[in-house]
Amino acid sequence: MASAVIVPSDPQSTWKSTAVVWHVEVDQIGSAEWAQVLDLFDDANIYQTWSYGAVRWGRKNLSHLVLKRNNEVVGIAQLRIVRPTKLKFGIAYLRWGPICQRRRGDLEPEVLQRVADALYQEYVVNRRLLLQIVPNAFVGTARAEMFRSRLSKFTQEIPACANLYRTFVVDLSLSLKELRKKFDPKWRNKLSGAEKNGLTVHSGNNTDHYLTFCEMYRQTRNRKTFDTTVDVEEFGRIQRDLPESQRMQILIAEQEGKPVAGLVISAIGDSAIYLLGATSDEGLKAKGSYLLQWTAIQWLMQNGIVWYDLGGIDPEGNPGVYQFKKGFSGADLTQLSPLTACESVLSAVVVKASLKLKHATRVFHSRRGGKSDL
């Protein structure tokens, strides 16, 4: 565990013309408090929840950094730490972070700079690890440019299919009428058809909803015979561990009392992510997935969500899903490629060799319609 206090060189930068005290805490926070502070941020996401990290990577492999300004939390980051041996080398992996945009506020350049410097000092300098950051920022946005400029100590990986996340993002600040009008005409027609098929949509975040979804997901996998590293049982364990405010929302469409389609979304901060979708064997003609997405959009808007990330696209490897998601007429965006930093030759050599192997595995899975991550 570590802690540090930093006083900036320009004390006149505050309204009261007094010194701003920056305080860094490492591994001094518990899971309940982490959930509370994560809910303070607009750029919060499921990959930075304690539950996702603990179930996906193991609690003993997690590290948590908190940045405070005058005792107020302004930046946080959850990392996965991998050390293959007791020797001082390995990787610190930060997915979709750091989190540093407070609710209803702007991303502050100095806060991002401070949290980036703290991450570098703790994991690159002190622990001698290779630090890899997969930022929650899309190419061409002001947020991405700020990440590039403020994380100047980091090297941006060369964009490649193995390390890039491409998706459609729907702007939910529009009215429902405007959104529906933007849909592709064919997509809109299928939605109209689904609305006439006598479907009923139920939603919730409890175990029963998720078990119903899982049964349809298994039918979908058996029918399409696609390979994937997505483990629905693992997501179930994450769901059970998540606090109420951060649980995934499950929507189930029924026809004549029978479940015919389902989807799982995560809505934390000001954004939502479409994680999983499924259709039962009996529901192929019901077009339930269209009605579910439309219902999900309405639910997200009612709950103050501004952006809806459709969960990744692969036009070549999975053209059917690509065409379905394209029908939303969202913005086609690519995530900023990973940023890395390392001062240990041993960590650099060993970890980069391991990453090349993982990237090769990821390419293999993506070509066969699956997903893979660290």
Contacts of 15 (CB under 8 A, 6+ apart): none
Task: Tell me what percent of the residues of the chain surpass a pLDDT of 90.
Answer: 72
Buried b (16+ CB within 10 A) or exposed e, 262-284: bbbbbbbbbbbbbbbbbbbeebe
| b (16+ CB within 10 A) / e for 332-366 | ebebbbbbbbbebeebbebbeebbeeebeebbebb
The pLDDT of residue 165: 92
Q: What is the largest CA-CA distance in the chain?
A: 68
Q: State residue 57's pLDDT score.
A: 96
| Least confident residue range of 10-19, 20-29, 105-114 | 10-19
Q: How confident is the model at residue 4 (pLDDT cuts 50, 70, 90)?
A: low
Residue 31 pLDDT > 70, yes or no?
yes
Residue at 74: amino acid letter: V
Residue 167 pLDDT level (bands cut at 50, 70, 90): very high
Residue type, 284: L
Q: What is the pLDDT of residue 353?
A: 59
Range with top average pLDDT, 224-238, 272-286, 288-302 = 288-302
Is 90 exceeded by the pLDDT of residue 99?
yes
Q: Which amino acid is at 138?
A: F
- State the average pLDDT for the chain: 87
- Give the pLDDT confidence score for residue 7 in this predicted structure: 44
Give yes or no for residue 25 having a pLDDT over 90. yes
Peptide bond preceding 243 in cis form (omega within 30 of 0): no
The mean pLDDT of 369-374, rounded to a whole number, is 41
From CA 307, how far away is CA 251, in angstroms rounded? 18
At 355, is the pLDDT very low, low, confident or very high (cuts 50, 70, 90)? low
* pLDDT mean over 102-130: 96
pTM for this one?
0.88
Section 121-144 average pLDDT: 96
pLDDT, residue 14, reads 33
For tokens 């990787």, the residue is 91
Distances (CA, A) of 274 to 71, 170, 264, 355: 35, 11, 6, 27
- Kindly indicate the confidence band of residue 15, based on its pLDDT and cuts at 50, 70 and 90: very low
The confidence score (pLDDT) of residue 220 equals: 81
Reported confidence tier of residue 354, pLDDT bands at 50, 70, 90: low
- Looking from the CA of 30 toward its CB, the CA atoms found within 13 Å total 2
Helix axes 207-224 and 232-241, enclosed angle (nearest 10): 170
Please tell me the distance from the alpha carbon of residue 359 to that of residue 314, in angstroms, as a whole number: 16
State residue 160's pLDDT score: 72
pLDDT band at 13 (very low <50, low <70, confident <90, very high): very low
Q: Which domains does the chain have, with CATH numbers?
A: 2-165+335-367 (3.40.630.30), 167-333 (3.40.630.30)
Instruction: Please write the tens of the pLDDT for every residue from 219-258.
Output: 887 776 555 567 889 999 999 999 999 999 999 999 999 9
